[in-house]
Structure 1
Amino acid sequence: PYYFAPAAEPFHEVITDFQREFQETIGKNHAKYFDANGWFYFTKEVFDLLYPSYGDTYPTYNGGIGMTYEQGGSGRAGLGIITSIGDTLTLKDRIAHHHTTGLSTVEVASKNVTKLNDEFKKFYRDKNFKYNTYVMNGNPDKIEALADLLSRHEIEFQTGTNSTFKGYSYATGKSGSIKSTNKSLVISTNQPKSTLVKVLFEPTAKLSDSVTYDITAWSLPYAYGLDAIASETSVAKSTPLHSGTEYDVLKPDSYAYLADWNSMKDAQFLAELLRNKVRVRFAHKPFTLDGISHKRGTLIITKSDNKHLKNFNDILISASENNSKNVISTNTGFVESGKDFGSGYVDVIQKLNIAVLSGEPTSTLRFGEIWNFFEQQLNYPISVLGHDYFDRIDLSNYDILILPDGRGYNSFLNSYNKEKIKDWVKRGGKLIAMGGAIDGITSSDKDFKLSVKEIEKDSSTTIGSFEISEREQIKSAITGAIFKATVDNTNPLAYGYDDTYFTLKLGARSYNYLENGSAVYLSEGNNEPVSGFAGSEAKKKIAETLIFGTEEMGRGQVIYMVDNPLFRGFWENGKLFFANALFMVK
């Protein structure tokens, strides 16, 4: 049938009484017309008003009356479709339903013009939120990426003024403090977009109901991997944040050029160099050169590696400017500590031929995130392989194969396809298995060392009400919650990261640690979410389990991504893990 407002709980606490009431007013007007025509509809179910990325919540958090209108049938209904009770729902019916709710919305709005305008003005008056200021420090590239997001949403921000702020620490979940500098990102709720600021930056959203349509945690300091404090202290206006990069002058007669590796911007810089046939090395060990310390993953671009490029310097300068990337010149490969540039601990990054599986076994959403990552963010070529002709593909043409999350792998990975993939890996291929693809590829196969975590089930039986079964099921669910994970940043999959990472979990899928390759994992005692909802049984299941890991198989590698580092393109701090899987894991 047809759905229209009012929405289901949970409503976010910032939604005003008027916004709630007006949904009810419009819904009752729709119902009047649907009743007169004998049309079926439902309200106050499924579609809540919490996560800010919906088509109804985003305008609501900007002062509007956001609502979902949805007609059963979706894209497959065509000119007509047989419903579950044997009736026919036609395209003409669907148009009539939407046409009616559209005109009904205009009708109610036209009768309430003065009230709508008055309430819209009232929405932008000063608010009395608990936290008045959000202060963030961290990687300048991540600060700049978040500043760009805020600018696109017309949210005001500024630099720090050498002040100390006390408040809620996102890193510890307790009271803490932070020192702001002229490189800090400071966002005040004393601005027109104060409600949107509160929703996007609050450490944890208040839930009036644990049964939700989508994720329950999205706080941007976690998503961008920044050290942050939510403070009750107000801040005076100061200088807007400067996002420009000051470049070192590249000396054309240098022995080599060095670039750090700790953000998505660094991955974009590398991708541009590889597209232009520049040979790039990277360090597996920290080193010191010219008095400067460099971490694992540091990019090393030597002049001798690139003698084949007549315009090498021009390419390097262009790539650094295009990606706002500072590159350091050096006249020697003889390091003061660590490993020299000719060492076996310094690997060459070859230009890679990468493929991703598409079609029935994969989720279209998860496939789309990967495709978007390559084409719109990393700007690196990728081949799309259809599941229906996969058995005819020569995998030796590819260096990397990505299996996106999905539910259809048990049928796709028949004995032929599975053996084909394993043989390719053993000969030197790199397999990246994500989400549900992990179950498909590892199930009942001793060649893969990853194992599903088993927990003892309660053998006792109880008699419960049929009506509360949904509440019982939620105990085993994680509705998009954030957890604090431990990182082994000596693993190439985790180069560029600190020793902790906040991961967004979308479910309770869980695997035991790998013996040597556990790059990111939930350590003992870290199975409580720092933000969002996780059921009691789900928390037991994910305790001490793998998040990202690597496993050698023959001459190749298998990379497991239990959680999704590319979720909807907004989990910025996860993207470097995916870049590491491509370029750093050997």
Structure 2
Amino acid sequence: MKKPLTLLILGIFLSQFSFGQENYFFPGEKFDPAIPSPSDFLGYEIGEWHTRYDLIVKYFEKLDEISDMASLKTIGYTHELRPKIILTISSPSNMENLEEIRLKQLQLADPSQSKPEVSSMPAIIHQGYGVHGNEPSSAEAAMLTAYWLMASQSELATNLRENSVVHFDPTVNPDGRDRHSHWANTNKGFPPVADPLDREHNEVWPGGRTNHYWFDLNRDWLPLAHPESQAKIAWYHTWYPNVTTDFHEMGTNSTYFFEPTKPYGSENPVVPRKNYDDINVRFAKYFSKYLDEIGSLYWTKEVFDNSYPGYGSTYPDIHGGLGLVFEQASSRGHLQNSQRGEISFAFTIRNHVRSSLATMEAALDNKDFMHDYLREFFETAVSEGSDDPAGNYVFGDEYDESRNQLFVKLLLDHHIKVYENDSDIDLGNYSFKKGKSWVVPTSQPQFRMVRSMFEEVTEFADSVFYDASTWTMAHTYGMPFATSSGIKPGDEVTEVSEIGYPFPEGKAYAYLIDWADYYAPRMLNDLQKAGIHVEVINRPFTSQTTSDVVEFGAGTLMIPMGFQDLDETELLEKLKELANKNHQQVYATKTGLNLQGIDLGSNLVGAVTEPKVIMVVGDGVSSYEAGEIWYLLDSQVGMPITKVNSDDMGRVNLFDYNTLVLPSGNYNSFSEGFLDHLKDWLQRGGTIVSLKSASLWLNRAGITNEKMVERPENSDPIALPYADRNAFEGAKAVGGSIYMAKLDLTHPITYGYRRDQLPVYRNSSIFVQPSQNKYLTPIRYTEDPLLGGYISDENLELMKQSASLIISPVGRGRVINFYDSPNFRGTWFGTNKLFLNALFFGDIMD
């Protein structure tokens, strides 16, 4: 019987690359036939298809089911409810004593406990794969490596099972992986098409790199904005692995990268030199040996960043282990042409398998050394912290209880010790109140993470950054903080207590809600959805409430009882329910006559328009920024936002909405007809909230007329070596740094802020002059704005002349131009309210 033509073609393709576990990935190896290989289980050879995440989970479940060498644990779930799993493999005797092994590892990482005998302790190895969904080879390598470790009869595999505990996380980003796998499999040809222009190699927007909300999870180990990272970090602190891997892919024309990264320029300042100068060098010899054996090309000591603490390959370095990043040239599909010929999916998988095996062998050979280093790391952290002149970091915002709790939780999630502040103290420009502020001592095992949270770094060994050049988390939360070596901490905080306030009793003339709390916008959104009429008080005032005399800031919400459609009993029940849900303090007043400031019936008080928001997404739009906005409104406000592809905007009637959000991007694809419609909608009162390059597009389109800051005449050298071009030109970029901005506290964009200075995040070189209208630049930079990160001297001077935010009037409407990043990576809680104010109060901003 003749085989069908498609099977013959497929057979030719498979034989060309010698597929099969024994023949291609593990030549010469013998395996236990009782352990099914991935291809046996899946019904196809690894590399033939992109394996769906549910099948990866099923394969690991099978290994757990059939062998006492494996144990599968679900540590959490993604946004799309895919399970986050860890498969642990070791010898049966080790698996029986797994909890004892884990506790000894934790004992080793705790300088307050006696040091266990390390020679009898197994190496703890964490193999992490696939944080970027469209870098798929590593998850396939995870299955093959787990199979090899369980089934191989080699001496190395036997020694590893006896003397190590290996944890496999096959896919850090399951949602993104499945998005990409579906694309690659759906567009696969028979035979595969290697042309880079083929549809298979070019995903549609936003691609599979990111998670459900279009976030790069390889930046989230520090902010912990998403459940994938939250689960991973919680698990990490139950083990403190000696070695953690982080497998990636890069451009098709590249080869293979392993550490060490670029010396000094790409290294984290809190990590001991021993990590870079000794441990990385030890392990690199194993990677080169394993890749030399199969003739793969590779490179080291260039480009890739180890400075930002939120990478999967950097976070372990700040916790006494070794984090390792690997980068493989990508086939971005099943087969693709490169400068060295065709690269197959199987080839990319094989290189990651080789590095996985090399990592385990290196960790095993250096087992005692790495255990000693883990102990040494935390011991030196305590001693260095004891000598640190800061002594303690004191932080807290007396006006925003929710943001305080969010920051305390972040510190606790990273196992940083936090204590109550038992006294009112003034430090620097801040007053810290008892019960509303906390103390973080530098003398603690997590001293290096404390530095990552609070230190402001402005001097660097390099001026070109792969990613952000600063990450002071206290600034991202807009958190006032100061140092004090003399303060005595109070009781240790072990968990974040839920905020609750008593609801005022008795009949009220009106109810008041302070806009300063982080979750006040969520409360307002819920009130509006419930049909409760809400007004905003546009000036500060002092009121005699039923509980006390209270000073309220501009932006305070008022619920006037005389102007409600709901029955009073129903309204009060709903108000109590929403106040409890959103942890908001509601004040009652029996009169509209205030003690100071405007009264509650002033003409400076008016109804809050319910936002009806549409956002442009799709080709040409930054998926990162769009995802940040989508996630903010979903997770922190509970507000639905209509997301429309850029090429569908011609079908939109903007008069069904009152607010249009334009993330950074190129909007030249908008038709002339839609532009006319957009201008008409603005003239009649619409609000555009635009970010960075979107604001530049609005200027070019003639919708706004803001002026750029003029750059000085070119002072570059006439000639430079060609090899210096990337470093010289890269140093001109503003790659991500923190600045102090000055707020006009009377403007609606700043409602809820009580201090006139606020840290902001900038990652663009867009410098725009303040508005010609002296009232419409409510956020500017201070005279000496740099708080942390790199910026060239020339750019810093340009920044001092530029605006952080401008309101551009257009007829009865307006454009609110953000030139910074108020929602960066889902963790800028300090500036989120600026963006939310633009949505809720945009119609009163000009």
Q: TM-score, normalised by structure 1?
A: 0.92
Equivalent residue for 2:419, pick from 148, 155, 158 = 158
- Residues 1:98 and 2:347 aligned together: no
Equivalent residue for 1:278, pick from 532, 541, 550 = 532
Q: How does 1:95-174 map to 2 (within 5 A)?
A: 95-125=349-379, 126-129=382-385, 130=388, 131-138=390-397, 139=399, 140-162=401-423
Equivalent residue for 1:482, pick from 738, 741, 745 = 738
What SS class does the counterpart of residue 264 from structure 1 fall into? Answer: coil
User: Which residue pairs with 2:659 in the alignment?
Assistant: 400
CA–CA distance in structure 1, aligned partners of residues 317 and 674 of structure 2: 48
- Residues 1:7 and 2:261 aligned together: yes
CA–CA distance in structure 1, aligned partners of residues 489 and 816 of structure 2: 48
What SS class does the counterpart of residue 71 from structure 1 fall into? Answer: strand
Shift in alpha-carbon separation, 1:273–1:335, aligned structure 2, 3 A: same
CA–CA distance in structure 2, aligned partners of residues 475 and 152 of structure 1: 35
**Displacement of 1:403 after TM fit?**
0.5
Shift in alpha-carbon separation, 1:458–1:412, aligned structure 2, 3 A: same
Once the two structures are overlaid, the 10-residue window that deviates more, 330-339 or 396-405, is 330-339
CA–CA distance in structure 2, aligned partners of residues 342 and 305 of structure 1: 12
User: Which residue pairs with 2:470 in the alignment?
Assistant: 217
Kept in 1: contact 2:823–2:832 (CA 8 A): yes
What SS class does the counterpart of residue 517 from structure 1 fall into? Answer: coil
Kept in 2: contact 1:508–1:541 (CA 8 A): no
**Displacement of 1:246 after TM fit?**
5.2
Kept in 2: contact 1:60–1:66 (CA 8 A): yes
Kept in 2: contact 1:257–1:329 (CA 8 A): yes
User: Which residue pairs with 1:374 in the alignment?
Assistant: 633
CA–CA distance in structure 1, aligned partners of residues 312 and 303 of structure 2: 15
**Displacement of 1:583 after TM fit?**
0.7
Equivalent residue for 1:301, pick from 559, 564, 589 = 559
What SS class does the counterpart of residue 325 from structure 2 fall into? Answer: coil
Once the two structures are overlaid, the 10-residue window that deviates more, 492-501 or 284-293, is 284-293
What SS class does the counterpart of residue 476 from structure 1 fall into? Answer: coil
**Displacement of 1:243 after TM fit?**
4.5
CA–CA distance in structure 1, aligned partners of residues 701 and 661 of structure 2: 21
Once the two structures are overlaid, the 10-residue window that deviates more, 465-474 or 394-403, is 465-474
CA–CA distance in structure 2, aligned partners of residues 413 and 546 of structure 1: 27
1:379-410 per-residue CA deviation (whole Å, 9 max, x = no partner) reads 1111111112111111111111101112x23x
Shift in alpha-carbon separation, 1:414–1:475, aligned structure 2, 3 A: farther
Equivalent residue for 2:751, pick from 487, 495, 508 = 495
Kept in 2: contact 1:296–1:490 (CA 8 A): yes
CA–CA distance in structure 2, aligned partners of residues 86 and 358 of structure 1: 36
Shift in alpha-carbon separation, 1:237–1:295, aligned structure 2, 3 A: closer
| Counterpart code for 1:292 | V
CA–CA distance in structure 1, aligned partners of residues 550 and 841 of structure 2: 22
User: Which residue pairs with 1:522 in the alignment?
Assistant: 781
| Counterpart code for 2:765 | A
| Aligned length, in residue pairs | 570
User: Which residue pairs with 2:769 in the alignment?
Assistant: 512
CA–CA distance in structure 2, aligned partners of residues 382 and 460 of structure 1: 46
Equivalent residue for 2:515, pick from 261, 268, 286 = 261
1:126-181 per-residue CA deviation (whole Å, 9 max, x = no partner) reads 23142331111323332222112122222221111327586xx5x6xxxxx86563
- Residues 1:312 and 2:571 aligned together: yes
1:360-379 per-residue CA deviation (whole Å, 9 max, x = no partner) reads 12111111111111111211
CA–CA distance in structure 1, aligned partners of residues 436 and 623 of structure 2: 39
- In structure 2, list runs of 5 or more residues that go unmatched: 1-254
Q: How does 1:63-82 map to 2 (within 5 A)?
A: 63-73=320-330, 77-82=332-337
1:482-508 per-residue CA deviation (whole Å, 9 max, x = no partner) reads 111111111111112221111111122
Kept in 2: contact 1:489–1:499 (CA 8 A): yes
Kept in 1: contact 2:737–2:762 (CA 8 A): yes
CA–CA distance in structure 2, aligned partners of residues 2 and 320 of structure 1: 55
Greater RCO structure (CA 8 Å; 6+ sep): 1
CA–CA distance in structure 1, aligned partners of residues 779 and 685 of structure 2: 24
**Displacement of 1:464 after TM fit?**
1.8
CA–CA distance in structure 2, aligned partners of residues 323 and 577 of structure 1: 19
- In structure 1, list runs of 5 or more residues that go unmatched: 172-176
Shift in alpha-carbon separation, 1:332–1:391, aligned structure 2, 3 A: same
Kept in 2: contact 1:475–1:536 (CA 8 A): no
Shift in alpha-carbon separation, 1:554–1:236, aligned structure 2, 3 A: closer
User: Which residue pairs with 1:46 in the alignment?
Assistant: 303
Q: How does 1:24-39 map to 2 (within 5 A)?
A: 24-39=281-296
Q: How does 1:526-565 map to 2 (within 5 A)?
A: 526=784, 528-565=785-822
User: Which residue pairs with 2:61 in the alignment?
Assistant: none
CA–CA distance in structure 2, aligned partners of residues 61 and 460 of structure 1: 39
Kept in 1: contact 2:749–2:778 (CA 8 A): yes
User: Which residue pairs with 1:458 in the alignment?
Assistant: 714
Kept in 2: contact 1:549–1:560 (CA 8 A): yes
What SS class does the counterpart of residue 502 from structure 1 fall into? Answer: strand
**Displacement of 1:237 after TM fit?**
5.3
CA–CA distance in structure 2, aligned partners of residues 504 and 265 of structure 1: 21
Kept in 1: contact 2:510–2:559 (CA 8 A): yes
Shift in alpha-carbon separation, 1:91–1:322, aligned structure 2, 3 A: same
User: Which residue pairs with 1:240 in the alignment?
Assistant: 493
User: Which residue pairs with 2:275 in the alignment?
Assistant: 19
What SS class does the counterpart of residue 416 from structure 1 fall into? Answer: helix
CA–CA distance in structure 2, aligned partners of residues 480 and 232 of structure 1: 31
| Counterpart code for 2:523 | F
Once the two structures are overlaid, the 10-residue window that deviates more, 377-386 or 474-483, is 474-483
What SS class does the counterpart of residue 329 from structure 1 fall into? Answer: strand
CA–CA distance in structure 2, aligned partners of residues 215 and 458 of structure 1: 26
What SS class does the counterpart of residue 270 from structure 2 fall into? Answer: coil
What SS class does the counterpart of residue 324 from structure 2 fall into? Answer: coil
| Counterpart code for 2:680 | D
CA–CA distance in structure 1, aligned partners of residues 439 and 670 of structure 2: 50
Equivalent residue for 1:287, pick from 541, 560, 568 = 541
| Counterpart code for 2:309 | P
User: Which residue pairs with 1:202 in the alignment?
Assistant: 455
Shift in alpha-carbon separation, 1:244–1:539, aligned structure 2, 3 A: same
CA–CA distance in structure 2, aligned partners of residues 5 and 145 of structure 1: 35
| Counterpart code for 1:79 | H
User: Which residue pairs with 2:98 in the alignment?
Assistant: none
- Residues 1:359 and 2:612 aligned together: no
Once the two structures are overlaid, the 10-residue window that deviates more, 464-473 or 276-285, is 464-473
Kept in 2: contact 1:18–1:119 (CA 8 A): no
CA–CA distance in structure 1, aligned partners of residues 662 and 522 of structure 2: 22
Kept in 2: contact 1:188–1:235 (CA 8 A): no
User: Which residue pairs with 1:174 in the alignment?
Assistant: none
Kept in 2: contact 1:6–1:24 (CA 8 A): yes
CA–CA distance in structure 2, aligned partners of residues 102 and 549 of structure 1: 51
1:542-585 per-residue CA deviation (whole Å, 9 max, x = no partner) reads 22211122222222221111101000011110100011001122
1:419-465 per-residue CA deviation (whole Å, 9 max, x = no partner) reads 322221112211101111111111151x4132222223236752222
User: Which residue pairs with 1:227 in the alignment?
Assistant: 480
User: Which residue pairs with 2:445 in the alignment?
Assistant: 192
CA–CA distance in structure 1, aligned partners of residues 643 and 500 of structure 2: 39
